[in-house]
Structure 1
Amino acid sequence: MANPAHLQALPITPLRHPWRWVGIAVIALLIATVGHSLVTNERFEWNVVFEYLFSKPILSGLAMTIALTAAAMVIGLALGVILAAMRVSQSQIFRSTSSAYIWFFRGTPILVQLVFWYNLGYLYPEFSIGLPFAEPWFSTNINDIITPLTAALLGLSLNEGAYLAEIVRAGILAVPPGQAEAASSLGMTRFQAFRKIVLPQAMRIIIPPTGNETIGMLKTTSMVSVIALADLMYAAQSIYSRTFQTIPLLICASIWYLLLTSLLSFGQGFIERHFGRGDQGASARRSPFRFVRTTSEIAS
């Protein structure tokens, strides 16, 4: 048997990672090269970037982008919950209807959907409400309803609803069936069990991909510029089409997109931590201050 005192006297040599230092040196060299190019290349025209960064057209387009993202996600999430509930329903008609909706909207490009909704007046010049084969109760020109804003909301929210439906469905299926059975034994209806028992537990799984979808939606809103909706991208395009300063205006728009996605990512971390309170390990991993906390622990 080995002598414990002899083992304690052995020197402890940490494992060396020479290639790690090579990788760090390469990354540092690349960062320095890119930084030097950004500072010294006059064609970036940073003075133009900061001139328009807080200009009125850009800020107006930024407000439209934020509002459009929020509205599309709220509508898409509500639609996604309904479609997911239909998808896991015992009714074959509900399941088939939900599956057909998801198949169609996930199978066609979002750009095609936006242009289609914008040109809906070509197929249906008038919008009417009433019973079939009878005089309509209400009728109006479809172009008075399908403005660029409503076309953008329809295209973005209906498309997003199909993706969120699958995310919500995955969260619902991750909840053990015994939870719904226990709720039923307490006298709850299927709807009450879904709303009060199943859905709150599924949120832990639903939140992370929904946060990613929100960030993706923020960037997808740039496509509404094709239907002349004055979002952030359209504002940048309208300026550089007059001034021919394309690169500075694209950089200006990119700065705002990066800032917004960073804020959304930070907020996503707080929401994930809130819904993951029952999982202490997951809560610590999702905490935005994990790096600060870990550093203080190492220092102590």
Structure 2
Amino acid sequence: MNAKTQNNKNEDGFPWWLAVLVAIAVVIAIVVAANDIYSQVFQTVFRGIGITIGVTLTGFTLATALGLAIALMGLSEAKWLRQVARFYTEVIRGVPILVLLFYIAFVGAPALVAMINFLCAPLIAAGIMEPMLVRDISLLWRAILALMIGYSAFIGEVFRAGIMAVDKGQLEAADSLGLSRFQRFRFIVFPQAVKVILPPLGNDFVAMVKDSSLVSVLGVADITQMGKVYASGSFRFFETYSIVAYIYLILTISLSLLIRQLEKRLREKQR
């Protein structure tokens, strides 16, 4: 019996780790429902879940679109596009998400407003439009833009690796059939690359759920920020951050299980 077969058997066995996690989650849910303090903390912190989910979904959607564009630039026949894509990827991947949040919020946003006002100076002088102010760009959108930029570099590498995994012989066959580059990408490259792309893309989505907690440093009212506000006012740090961790664990583990099921289905289709 080889190692691969053994690993498959282990994966198909009963998931005791999941059973333990579910049992712990149920016990915590009972404690939250029965204890007034934990119940109040949960109700307060849970108000931020909508912001957390909204920031994650919006940021990840934008990051995926930008990452695909960066990947296509990196695979372009034009050398300067490849160099631009590589420069962007290496720079963004080298900057921590927290630093990027501060930079976009307090440097990038004012610079963007100044550029817009400069370009629209004739319209502003004519009284057609009012000059844009930095506060017109909400901290929520600054946080989303920072997550979009930060994750687009990693997602771009995922797309690039998936596209490069497609057999070159199929690309040559597409050329012989006279397909355009867009048709080749739409009908041949992308459908095959998506099987390679989806699992790591799902992992990046789970990672963004966790990194979305960083937007609390800008005062965005997500789960973490609601917990910080409640804990600072009540001094119940243990109860508050236990509930915050509990909610994030439910979100991330649920998503991880969905991703595993997706990976399993993809493997079954490839057989």
Class of the TM-score when normalised by the shorter of the 2 chains:
0.7 to 0.9
1:128 equivalent among 94, 116, 133: 116
Q: Secondary structure at the match of 1:248?
A: helix
Can you list the C-alpha shifts for 1:43-65, whole angstroms capped at 9, x where unaligned? xxx75333322x1x322211111
Q: Identify which range, 245-254 or 179-188, moves more after superposition.
A: 179-188
Offset of 1:225 from its aligned partner? 0.7
Which residue does 1:212 correspond to in 2?
Answer: 203
Which residue does 1:170 correspond to in 2?
Answer: 161
Q: Secondary structure at the match of 2:137?
A: coil
Can you list the C-alpha shifts for 1:183-221, whole angstroms capped at 9, x where unaligned? 222222112211221111111111111111111110101
1:24-39, aligned counterparts within 5 Å?
none
2:141 equivalent among 117, 139, 150: 150
Structure number with greater Rg is 1
Q: Secondary structure at the match of 2:184?
A: helix
Question: Following the alignment from structure 1 to structure 2, what is the Cα–Cα distance between the partners of residues 204 and 247?
Answer: 42
Which residue does 1:15 correspond to in 2?
Answer: none
Aligned residues with identical type, % of pairs: 31
Q: CA RMSD in A?
A: 2.6
Which residue does 1:76 correspond to in 2?
Answer: 63
Which residue does 1:226 correspond to in 2?
Answer: 217
Question: Following the alignment from structure 1 to structure 2, what is the Cα–Cα distance between the partners of residues 264 and 164?
Answer: 18
Runs (5+) with no aligned partner, structure 1: 1-30, 40-45, 281-300
Query: Is 1:48 the equivalent of 2:37?
Result: yes
Offset of 1:251 from its aligned partner? 0.5
1:58, 1:235 within 8 Å by CA — same for their partners in 2? yes
Question: Following the alignment from structure 1 to structure 2, what is the Cα–Cα distance between the partners of residues 252 and 100?
Answer: 41
Which residue does 1:63 correspond to in 2?
Answer: 50
1:106, 1:163 within 8 Å by CA — same for their partners in 2? yes
Can you list the C-alpha shifts for 1:31-77, whole angstroms capped at 9, x where unaligned? 9xxx9xx99xxxxxx75333322x1x322211111111111111111
Q: Secondary structure at the match of 1:206?
A: helix
1:241 equivalent among 232, 240, 265: 232
2:110, 2:134 within 8 Å by CA — same for their partners in 1? no
Can you list the C-alpha shifts for 1:118-177, whole angstroms capped at 9, x where unaligned? 113554553527869x83686642424421111111100111000000111111111111
Query: Is 1:187 the equivalent of 2:178?
Result: yes
Question: Following the alignment from structure 1 to structure 2, what is the Cα–Cα distance between the partners of residues 247 and 210?
Answer: 34
Instruction: Say which structure, 1 or 2, has more relative contact order (CA 8 Å, 6+ apart).
Output: 2
> 1:221–1:131: structure 2 CA closer, same or farther, 3 Å change rule?
closer
TM-score normalized by the length of structure 1 = 0.72
**What is the aligned length?**
237
2:60, 2:148 within 8 Å by CA — same for their partners in 1? yes
Which residue does 2:32 correspond to in 1?
Answer: none
